[in-house]
Structure 1
Amino acid sequence: MKKLLLSIHDVGPRFESEVDLLLDRLARHVPVGRLAMLVVPDHWGGHPLRADSDFAGRLRRWSDAGVSMFAHGWFHRDMATHDGAAARFKARHMTAGEGEFLGLDKATAERRMIDARDLIQSITGRPVAGFVAPAWLYGPSALEALAESGFALAEDHMKVWQPSTGRVLARGPVLTWASRSRARIASSLLAARLLPPLLRHAAVARVAVHPGDAHVPRLLASIDRALRRLTRTHEAGRYDDLLAG
């Protein structure tokens, strides 16, 4: 059976109400225990996830219910200086200052990966499912650190892979939405109409939602439409199913 992998990004105290709304929305289409959450330990340095907090207790209960927890950077904010035109273009145009791991040196990238993993595991009592860089953007040094950090899975816009071996486990674009401008909303609505007919043929289809989506009714309606289409052809699965496959 074809697999549908569905994730909520930027999970943390900063976006607690948005995560609740998105979780309720997605649960209309797939079992909660098949979802993934990408956890940010300290969003933009102003919203720390504390192990003894109420939100940490919610993460633990979601994990107990079967939700897969990924480390999703540490700050989610890009504070690096970028060398090279390609990196500067990605930092400026592919994300709104949130490509945290695009310009980090190896030691800093590894430290943030490991610290995020250890915090999330201390809260849930379970291994994290993997690591996903904010905005799906990785610099060369971050990729080196990731390969040595012991994560079972990683993901970017176009694939899911096993960092220790480089083995690609699934290919194809992530269906996602953007809410930070009218132009981004319009382009993501168009993509959400065009991609599902193509993804229906893929062995693995990936869909990701973000807190900003929760504030735009047109995006929520588009998410519903896309999931209604994809759940006809794909069964909701877990990311670690890819390792078994």
Structure 2
Amino acid sequence: MKRLLLSIHDVGPRFEEEVDRLVAHVAAHVQPAALAMLVVPDHWGAHPIGGNPCFARRLRQWADAGVTMFAHGWFHKDMATHDDRLSRFKARHMTAGEGEFLGLGAQEAAQRMADSRALIEDIIGRPVAGFIAPAWLYGAPALGALRESGFALAEDHMKVWHAPTGRVLARGPVVTWASRSPARIASSLLAARLLPPLLARTPVARVAVHPGDAHRPALLASIDRTLARLRRTHAPARYGDLLAA
């Protein structure tokens, strides 16, 4: 069976309204039991889930409805100094200051992973499925910390893997959208038209949506088209199904 994995990124109090819109928007294609949420405990240090019982209650309700929860960093903001050229390029061109785990040392990365996991699991009353770094960007120290973290699943732009062993569970680019500028909107709309026919041949297709998408009608329409196209060849599934397989 070919699987379709759908995730909503950057879930937290900062984007509660946008997450609500996205959940409602994708409901025609994927039910909560086959939806994943990537949870940010304290977005940019200004929107903590801790001490926010109203949002914590909503997170627990989504988990009770079957939504799969991932830890998605702690701040989501990249506050590191990047010494090597490749990391500077990634930080500048692949994200807008969002690659929190790209430049962290192993000890700090491990601590943020552990804190994020503990907070989310305490709220939802069950284990998280895994860890996905903000912007899908990992530095080598963060990858080392992830192997030792006890998380089961991890993901980047091109694959999903078993975090403790590195065993790849799914390959292929994730379909996602960018809303920060007209040029990025246009390029992501083009990618969303080109990728689904290619992903139709793969065992696993991944789609990821972000809060900024909720404010762009053209992106919402593209999300609809993409999910409808992939549903022809792939059945909505849970990330945990990859481990069971």
TM-score greater than 0.5 by the shorter chain: yes
CA contact (8 A) 1:131 1:151 kept: yes
Q: What amino acid sits opposite 2:89 in the alignment? A: F
- Paired AA for residue 138 in structure 1: Y
1:130-209 equivalence runs, <5 A: 130-209=130-209
* Matched residue, 2:68: 68
Q: Map 1:15-94 to 2 at 5 A.
A: 15-50=15-50, 53-94=53-94
Report sequence identity in percent. Answer: 74
Deviations 1:93-131 (A, max 9, x none): 000000000000000000000000000000000000000
**Alpha-carbon distance between aligned partners in 1 of 2:137 and 2:178, rounded to the nearest angstrom:** 16
Letter aligned with residue 15 of structure 1: F
2: distance between equivalents of 1:114 and 1:5?
A: 25
Find runs of 4+ consecutive structure 1 residues off by over 3 angstroms: none
Name the SS for the 1:207 alignment partner.
Answer: strand
Q: Superposed, which structure 2 residues align to 1:87-106 within 5 Å?
A: 87-106=87-106
SS in 1 for 2:208: strand
Structure 2 gaps of 5+ residues are: none
Paired residues of 1:51 and 1:119 also in contact (CA < 8 A) = no
The 1-side partners of 2:194 and 2:9 are apart by 22
Amino acid at match of 2:64: D
Cα pair 1:5 1:236 within 8 Å, conserved: yes
Amino acid at match of 1:212: G
Partner Cα distance (1:98, 1:111) in 2: 18
Query: Any idea what SS the aligned residue of 2:232 has?
Result: helix
What is the TM-score when the length of structure 1 is the normalising length?
Answer: 0.99
Q: What letter matches 1:117 in structure 2?
A: R
Per-residue deviation, 1:51? 5.6
Count of residues paired in the alignment? 245
Deviations, residues 103-161 of structure 1 (Å, cap 9, x unaligned): 00000000000000000000000000000000000000000000000000000000000
Instruction: Name the SS for the 2:48 alignment partner.
Output: coil
Q: CA separation in 1, counterparts of 2:146 and 2:4?
A: 25
Distance across 2 between alignment mates of 1:56 and 1:200 = 37
Is the contact between residue 51 and residue 123 of structure 1 (CA under 8 Å) also seen in structure 2? no
When normalised by structure 2's length, the TM-score is 0.99
1:28 shift after superposition: 1.0
Q: Are positions 1:127 and 2:127 aligned together?
A: yes
Aligned-partner Cα distance in 1 for 2:30–2:144: 35
For the residue of structure 1 that corresponds to 2:221, the secondary structure is helix
RMSD: 0.7
